[in-house]
Chains A and B, each alone.
Chain A
């Protein structure tokens, strides 16, 4: 144990003030304090020194940590609101868009069956091959055939 100039057991006093002594050491030191005036003075001097150090170093913050966290929570809440606004349009618009898509799908399916021309639907051939084969009317070909010439 160091014995400083200002008093014996100087380091032990520092440990005592920093609460690092084991319970048994602490009890022994407190017993010693009762009978040692020099240590009591040194204890008072060290207390004063560390109090002065606290005064010299401390800064009174403008806002407490709790206040800063509250600001943080507001910022996060604002961000979330902003994201929500961008990502999810109002319910009415979403429903209208869904209804429009459904209606278009139904129209595409129903209209051809009813004989309507559907814009964008694949154009059907006006003279489908299946309807011509074996049904020759004699026109349109020099050999009087159907245009389906057979090699000679």
Chain B
């Protein structure tokens, strides 16, 4: 954060790389009716971060150097969502506990891709409910992996700020947990 405040580009890239999946996770867990606008909120939150840097240098900023990336992400995302007039807490329990009861999606209109065979098709609601019920650390890992694969974002370990080996282990844990939760939902 200090290097970022000093204006170093590498520090800015590192901060944004780690901030992005955290913002997306927070938006996902805490907001309904915003899923179509996650890209806008993300962009606004990132822009706000850049502006806050200048305000901090001028003595009026609100960046706490001891604040974690996750806390900062949540504050930014919440502020931007509120500024857009679309803030609506999705599940109050989600903030208090990392292992919340899975919740159903609000207004997400995305459908399962048609190229999947019947055997491969996974009920989208079940899948997203299982993902949302994961501990935040594991949810963050799945989001970071999705951003890497689908959006070409930075490698998993860079997004998580850990070693490559630790990132692979965490991804493995997240996937096993996801699988187990899906199995439980199917059985239940």
Contacts and interface: CB of A to CB of B under 8 A. Distances in A.
Interface of A: 4-6, 10-11, 14-15, 17-20, 44-46, 48-50, 52-66, 68-69, 71-73, 75-76, 79-80
Interface in B69-91: none
A41 B129 CA distance: 25
A37 B46 CA distance: 48
Given A18-B172, A20-B172, A65-B17, A58 B142 contact: no
A72 B20 contact: no
Contacts of B22: none
A10 B13 contact: no
A61 B39 contact: yes
Given A55-B113, A58-B150, A72-B9, A45 B120 contact: yes
A65 B175 contact: no
Contact of B154 (A59, A63, A65): A65
A58 B147 contact: yes
Contacts of B110: 55-56
A68 B50 contact: yes
Nearest to A50: B175
B168 A18 contact: yes
A144 B127 CA distance: 122
A60 B153 CA distance: 10
Nearest to B182: A49
A53 B127 CA distance: 7
Contact of A62 (B43, B124, B154, B172): B43
A4 B179 contact: yes
A72 B50 contact: yes
28 contacts: A18-B169, A18-B175, A19-B168, A45-B119, A49-B122, A49-B127, A52-B127, A53-B142, A53-B146, A55-B113, A57-B24, A57-B143, A58-B146, A59-B24, A59-B38, A61-B42, A62-B39, A62-B42, A62-B43, A65-B17, A65-B153, A65-B154, A68-B16, A68-B50, A71-B47, A72-B9, A72-B50, A75-B54
B176 interface: yes
Contact of A17 (B12, B28, B175): B175
Given A59-B38, A59-B151, 17 more contacts: A5-B183, A14-B175, A18-B169, A48-B122, A49-B182, A50-B175, A53-B178, A54-B150, A56-B110, A57-B131, A59-B39, A62-B43, A65-B16, A69-B16, A71-B50, A72-B50, A73-B12
